[in-house]
Amino acid sequence: MTADPAPRLSRTDIARRTALDLPDGGIVNLGIGIPALCSDLLPEGVELRYHAENGILGFTDMDTKFDGDPNIMDAGGNFPKLVPGMAFFDSVESFDLIRGGHIDVTVLGGLQISGEGDLANWMIPKRGIGSIGGAMDLAANAKRVIVAMEHTTRDNKPKIVNQCSFPLTASNCVDEIVTDIAVIKITAEGLFLMEAASGWSSEDVQAITEPELIISEGFGPIRTG
């Protein structure tokens, strides 16, 4: 692998770009890590209704000042800001919402994504640890699945691969990938490279992506606002 041609996006900028594709008024579930950062980076005027697997629906923001109820937290241990219209229910009803296809978008992290849109994000086999949690249900049943992650591993190996070698979370489920160097949409025709980080060409992105990328007609720099 050669040296990067230009700086990569920060985790915050990955989340900021991801937030641009979240639908105003939509019901959204955010995973832990980079996905969770999206809630603080929404474009002006956009408001979402967040869902948490442990049984919360309708909160629109996080209580970063921790002056709310410490007994109310989402599945990632964050404290939702209490707003009128929020609903609380048990995990059975929460997963009924997920499995019934009522989540408009879920944003998840990723360890590997295949050219077919398969997602592996819960276990690294060599470590032998991991918990799939609600990610399997979200990936398989949300109307739209966006994965926000770094493009390569720490030793610069591709995380977008021809075939996943890690245990799958769900198959053929990912619609869009936002990484620190690219925005890629997955369709039945293949992987479309929509945007690349400043200073990165399509060839640079392809060099650290196993599946062949189709260059979108509107290919350009990554938008962050």
> Does residue 53 have an active-site annotation?
yes
- Detail the DSSP E strand segments found in the chain: 27-30, 49-52, 56-59, 87-88, 105-108, 112-114, 119-120, 145-148, 160-161, 176-178, 182-187, 190-196, 213-221
Q: How many whole angstroms separate alpha carbon 25 and alpha carbon 4? A: 38
Tokens linked to 14? 């990955």
Tokens linked to 152? 């390569």
Half-sphere exposure of 211 (CA within 13 A, CB side): 24
Q: How many whole angstroms separate alpha carbon 51 and alpha carbon 34? A: 17
* Residue 17 falls in which region: left (phi positive, over 0), alpha (psi -120 to 50) or beta: alpha
Catalytic option among 53, 93, 195, 217: 53
Just list the catalytic residues.
53
